[in-house]
Amino acid sequence: MSYWIHIARSIDRVTLHKDRCSEVPSTSIGSSSDFWEGGWFDYLDKERALAAMEQAGTTEQRRCPLCKA
């Protein structure tokens, strides 16, 4: 199982998702994603995802209510 984080700079929030969450986009990942602008980023384990959330620098950090990551 891998994890995704969604960085949304416009609303100053980062959200943690599980691999299979329906909110995770299945296409066009990566090409338009930029760490500083925001986007979707995948990680091999939860520890790395949580560390990335810390480094995202957004005010709000939350876990997805759908997949309960």
Write each residue from 18 to 47 as x if it is in contact with Zn ion (CB under 5 A), else as -, in one continuous string: ---x-x------------------------
- Owner of token pair 């609303």: 11
CB proximity list for 17: less than 8 A, separation 6 or greater: 3, 4, 5, 6, 23, 24, 64, 66, 67, 69
For Zn ion, the binding residue among 17, 41, 56, 58 (CB under 5 A) is 17
Beta-bridge partner residues of 43: 3
- Work out whether 67 is an interface residue with Zn ion (CB under 5 A): yes
6 binds Zn ion (CB under 5 A): no
Which residues are near Zn ion by CB under 5 A?
A: 17, 21, 23, 64, 66-67
